[in-house]
Structure 1
């Protein structure tokens, strides 16, 4: 079990070993467990003496952003970017938080970028109580994810500017990748906004007024990112349709060229095939000028077919 703990007194943070995490009377004791295994469950049950409901929520396999009040504390689950590549549709890793007066327990299954940012906030003396710590998590997650959302929008902008039939396959791969990422992020940002709004409205004096304002601000940023991701998803869908239309036009154009070439050579093939039969009594077969005449007729027919298609403007379609 990998863990680290901090005792915070008057904004001053001191890292302590796990066996001293729940001793003393600090303003805030923060215990973070990086990974979920039997040892972490045992420690939460026996040493931290948390209720079964809280332990189950902190160590659950499948989680979605949510906030629930329980007794004198609150359970909060948030999602943010991970330091490792996530598989499947879960593009964001979770951090599970249990907060009561003077204590916060956090658990992650995958390494979260925001955890390092929160540790820096703690070390700099900006965290004094559980409300400050949860606010730091919410702000760090949204601040880390915001540039990623902006980058997805920039990629769609680039694809729209570079729209070209010659780059259909390359652009379709980029658009598909952006669309999948936008859907994956948006899947969690909407419930995360609702969780933060619920947390900001929870009763209890362990959340100060300024903490509630900061959490509400993080909820607003999550809502804005969700709206941006929805816009990116819609633009990606439109781009995909446009690229599909371009690809269809390419195929139609090539099919038209093939059809025209076939129409030109069809009568020529008939004539050459007719005179290529190994039978007697073919007209003019024994004449010395027959070959030149047949070639002239073929050339005239080919020229006539081409002129017909040119006048019908088939080549410009």
Structure 2
């Protein structure tokens, strides 16, 4: 099946929201950017950065400042947030989405919000924004571009909660292997989960700090109504940040348990090797003594000399065993 041709470069989807009711209408792919901007209400444009024509399109959009333009076309992998009276822009962390399954790989959603337009861009398909679009299309009650941004963060919170549940289940399986002394490589399974947790926790802390900084700014420096939305978003991100923080602590303790288990196994192997060395060292000394190519060796000219040497070997083993028992090593 052929996809419909789009007249907007890099368009993934576009939605038009009615000015009074806030009802959501999907824009046909054949629409032009001029037709969209001429409509009443506000527009949500979601663009893919894989199209090289997208930067030129973004540069011509009304209300997009230099900072907003840089935020929308950025390929940087870190969270950012900038708010002025004219535009709110930045980068939010998200999770990539494969064609047939959800991924735990970190992705990035770039956005810019004005009073009549919200533009979001991404390089890879993302998990939360697709869910946010489905929720908005179903509810159909969005009154401002800021509410679209709030819906994106809400769906991101739900995605993180789902991911936390998935990682919790994986940690439960690893714990079963650790405490049942199963012969499995738990570290290989734990490492990817810890890497995802650490990266997510770091980005969430950054986003939380950025939102808190915005909420402490003067009211005349940010758009009307954004202060309340920023506080709500901050509360949501703080909630999931606590969940991820507790998950990080659990993964750290589990990693310490795995290291402790590996250390116990190594010590047990070294103990067995040491016991074998202690038993074999005296016989080695006896055989080394009788193996010297020197004159006048004991039993060299005596019948049954090998038997006597064997007796000395057995005595040395018995002496080693007695010493190990005497000093409570065995």
Q: Do they superpose with TM above 0.5?
A: yes
Q: For residues 108-119 of structure 1, what are the structure 2 equivalents within 5 Å?
A: 108-119=122-133
User: Is 1:137 equivalent to 2:145 in the alignment?
Assistant: no
User: Is 1:254 equivalent to 2:269 in the alignment?
Assistant: yes
Preserved contact between residue 81 and residue 210 of structure 2 (Cα < 8 Å) = yes
User: Is 1:288 equivalent to 2:325 in the alignment?
Assistant: no
Structure 2: gaps spanning 5 or more residues: 1-8
Match in the other structure for 2:6: none
Question: Per-residue deviation at 1:290?
Answer: 2.5
Preserved contact between residue 63 and residue 87 of structure 2 (Cα < 8 Å) = no
Once residues 126 and 248 of structure 1 are traced to their aligned partners in structure 2, the CA distance between those partners, rounded to angstroms, is 58
Question: Per-residue deviation at 1:170?
Answer: 1.3
Match in the other structure for 1:39: 53
Q: What SS class does the counterpart of residue 162 from structure 1 fall into?
A: helix
Q: For residues 74-223 of structure 1, what are the structure 2 equivalents within 5 Å?
A: 74-84=88-98, 91-124=105-138, 125-164=140-179, 170-197=185-212, 203-205=222-224, 212=229, 216-223=231-238
Preserved contact between residue 82 and residue 92 of structure 1 (Cα < 8 Å) = yes
Once residues 295 and 61 of structure 1 are traced to their aligned partners in structure 2, the CA distance between those partners, rounded to angstroms, is 77
Counterpart of 1:15 (choices 21, 27, 33) is 27
Once residues 299 and 227 of structure 2 are traced to their aligned partners in structure 1, the CA distance between those partners, rounded to angstroms, is 108
Question: Per-residue deviation at 1:185?
Answer: 0.3
Report the TM-score when normalising by structure 1: 0.83
RMSD: 3.0
User: Is 1:236 equivalent to 2:251 in the alignment?
Assistant: yes
- Taking a change above 3 Å as real, the CA distance of residues 247 and 82 of structure 1, as seen in their structure-2 partners, is same
- 1:212-243 residue CA offsets vs partner (Å, 9 max, x unmatched): 3xx64443232132223333333333333333
- 1:161-201 residue CA offsets vs partner (Å, 9 max, x unmatched): 43259558712223332221111001111122344456678
- Taking a change above 3 Å as real, the CA distance of residues 281 and 5 of structure 1, as seen in their structure-2 partners, is same
Match in the other structure for 2:319: 304
Match in the other structure for 1:62: 76
Q: What SS class does the counterpart of residue 124 from structure 2 fall into?
A: coil
Match in the other structure for 2:67: 53
- 1:260-280 residue CA offsets vs partner (Å, 9 max, x unmatched): 222222221222222234444
Preserved contact between residue 59 and residue 69 of structure 2 (Cα < 8 Å) = yes
User: Is 1:2 equivalent to 2:27 in the alignment?
Assistant: no
Q: What SS class does the counterpart of residue 14 from structure 2 fall into?
A: strand
Once residues 210 and 277 of structure 2 are traced to their aligned partners in structure 1, the CA distance between those partners, rounded to angstroms, is 65
Preserved contact between residue 92 and residue 207 of structure 2 (Cα < 8 Å) = yes
- Taking a change above 3 Å as real, the CA distance of residues 265 and 47 of structure 1, as seen in their structure-2 partners, is closer
